[in-house]
Structure 1
Amino acid sequence: MPIDIVLDAMGSDKAPDPEIRGAILACRQLDVRVHLVGPEDVLRPKLREALKATERPAFPGTPGKKPRLPIFMVQASEWISMEDKAAQAVRSKRDSSMRVGLKMVREGRAAGFITAGNTGAAMATAKMVLGSLAGVDRPALTAMLPTSTGQPCVILDVGANVDCDPENLVQFAVMGHMYAKNVLHVASPRVGLLSIGEEDSKGNSLTRDTLPLLRALGLNFIGNVEGRDLFNGHADVVVCDGFVGNVALKTSEGLAKLVSSSLRESLKMTVTSQVGAMLSQKAFKAFKSRLDYSEYGGAPLLGVRGVCVVGHGSSNERAVMNGIRVAAEFASASVNSGIEAKLAAR
């Protein structure tokens, strides 16, 4: 059966166009039903226009008939912009597209929710509407980083909690372990603690106090890991506080853009033949796709009672489609029940 995913149609920097095009892509390529949340008078004509622009030929043998895409409208009269102060907007905009969409998840009318909107507002609304899982003090934002092995590295937290204590990091480790195991299908995820050295004595008071707790947790804990281990495939899950994680994530994104643009310029200057240009372009596209954030779809918010994925504000239609895919995969896996069971068994 198709999975119902709610999409905040008013979240991204250029909303609602990337969301609408992303929903169309998702419904054509994935087994999902997408519920677009926002002002219907804005969304409906734009959806009609986008469908017309991307219309496909009729089914063979059925002249004039086109497949109907499972895209539905859900009315929300308000939305939270990037300029809004998160805490104030969550309280004052009670009919926002975020709140309406997350209520659908809470009520069981949809399996997951995705937004490319204000990250702080998305986290606050999710915690308020969905609530936290049993045993979880603070939900964590999770990101997937590409590695040299091809298996992405799960890093959390990447911005939800800038100040953490050891117990928070222990809970993050459990959440990351369950996500890597049930969604990425890693049989025994290797969990590392991000620090400035592999030795137990390295790091700050937070990492030194967390280390023995993680060792006693019963996971496949490999000890301290360093920044380079985010990309070499040494660890499947890396745990850190949100301040460090967000800096690592944004640095990685900036470096990926620099490498991609530098490689493109170098190829332009060195490739002369037409055949060489075609081969180089193909290789460059494959290389870029491994680093492109749009391929990873967004950051799952782990620790809430439901599925919530937060994407980039600059998300294009492909990023939106992949965010829908991530939400559907998350909803199909037993992540949340596994987190609660593991934390209860400590």
Structure 2
Amino acid sequence: MIKIAVDAMGGDNAPQAVIEGVIRALDAYKDIEIQLYGDQETLNSMPNVFEDRLEKIATTEVITGEDEPVKAVRRKKDASMVVAAKAVKEGRADVILSAGNTGALLTTGLLVVGRIKGIDRPGLMPVIPTINEKSPHLILMDAGANAESKAEHLLQYAYLASHYAKNVLKINEPRVSLVNNGTEAGKGDELRKQAYELLSKAPDLNFVGNIEAKELLSGHVDIAVTDGFTGNAILKTLEGSLKSVFKLLKRTLSEGGITNKMGGLLIKPALKKMAENFDDSKKGGAVLLGVKKPVIKAHGSANDEAIYNAIRQAREIVLSRFSEEIAEFFENSAENDRQMRK
């Protein structure tokens, strides 16, 4: 059985959306067990279903969106997020999922679950829908775990993301790109130039060069590597732009004359399909790559559909044995480096 620790108290729509997503996942996947962490009142409110595969663990504290991440993780020892992470660290669960405070979950991943040996800084990796049906996924790495990065960190991000793409998304030769302000090799600041040199010389990486932000959704690459500050700005810009475009389309078609409204009715099925393609709730959550066991961050506004898909994603990651393989890869790399220095 795959054991998934879920923070019932994290997110704007918690606990109801989390509970509904958990029940949907238990109904869909017979090979998972859910450990649900939350306050006693929340757990008591749950329907008595799937009791053989649903364990309810009462906690007394909650990390809120206003909490300072490091202080909250260190002081709120009985917070649902922290206790769930301890279960993963101690081997009682295989993966942790939360829609709560992003900074606190990243801190929990580092301080409680722990870094993989050989990884300097774990990175946050969301999977973004593209407009290309043949290449529907874009991995963005890092999307906000580290505001400042070195070229060596970006190289590690590329390896982490590549292994995820191969093992979990089943992309045989994932195309790795470096987000830059131009496609030429000499473009960018010193960080980008140094990272380009490392990536271009790296064995076992299918590095295809620089990519500009305007091409990220084209499907021309599978992985876009960048520092966390830039990655987070890209992620929020994409989210905001897509929502704004759909709102504008809806307003234009509904507020126009009869011709606009009739046209809107005719293209409604196509618009619905387009909206579904860009529905990030279907992609799962963002994964903290570089820690010993999977840590998954669902969107703060996650509904039951998003929680369900994040659990599906957690199951796929565990089945792929991604964490074990990437840990072995970096431990071997570190050992090789030590041998070369002798």
Distance in 2 of aligned mates of 1:23 and 1:329: 16
Alignment of 1:153-192 (within 5 A): 153-192=138-177
1:194 maps to 2:179: yes
Task: Give the corresponding residue for 1:62.
Answer: none
Alignment of 1:207-286 (within 5 A): 207-218=192-203, 219-268=205-254, 269=256, 270-272=260-262, 277=265, 280-286=267-273
Structure 2: unaligned runs, 5 residues or longer: 337-342
Task: Give the corresponding residue for 1:74.
Answer: 57
Deviation at 1:164, TM superposition (A): 0.3
Q: Deviations over 1:301-342 (max 9, x none)?
A: 000000110111111111111111111111111322332343
Alignment of 1:51-70 (within 5 A): 70=53
Gap change, CA 1:173 and 1:283, over 3 Å in 2: same
Task: Give the corresponding residue for 2:339.
Answer: none
Gap change, CA 1:140 and 1:67, over 3 Å in 2: closer
Q: Deviations over 1:217-271 (max 9, x none)?
A: 1110111111123101111011000000000000000011012222223444524
Distance in 1 of aligned mates of 2:37 and 2:327: 30
Q: Deviations over 1:85-132 (max 9, x none)?
A: 111111110111111111111222222111000011101111111111
2:292–2:327 CA contact under 8 A, matched in 1: no
| TM superposition score normalised by structure 2 | 0.90
Gap change, CA 1:70 and 1:266, over 3 Å in 2: farther
Distance in 1 of aligned mates of 2:102 and 2:199: 28
Which has the larger displacement, 182-191 or 34-43? 34-43
Distance in 2 of aligned mates of 1:341 and 1:220: 20
Deviation at 1:67, TM superposition (A): 7.1
SS in 2 for 1:80: coil
SS in 1 for 2:119: coil
| TM superposition score normalised by structure 1 | 0.89
Distance in 1 of aligned mates of 2:79 and 2:108: 10
Task: Give the corresponding residue for 1:37.
Answer: 37
Gap change, CA 1:259 and 1:306, over 3 Å in 2: same
Distance in 2 of aligned mates of 1:33 and 1:265: 44
Gap change, CA 1:341 and 1:35, over 3 Å in 2: closer
Task: Give the corresponding residue for 2:189.
Answer: 204
1:300–1:307 CA contact under 8 A, matched in 2: yes
Gap change, CA 1:261 and 1:215, over 3 Å in 2: same
**Fraction of identical pairs, as percent:** 38
Gap change, CA 1:104 and 1:265, over 3 Å in 2: same
1:311 maps to 2:294: no
Structure 1: unaligned runs, 5 residues or longer: 52-65
1:145–1:152 CA contact under 8 A, matched in 2: yes
Tell me the number of residue pairs that the alignment of Structure 1 and Structure 2 aligns.
325
Distance in 2 of aligned mates of 1:222 and 1:14: 40
- Over aligned residue pairs, what C-alpha RMSD do you find? 1.9
Gap change, CA 1:314 and 1:67, over 3 Å in 2: closer
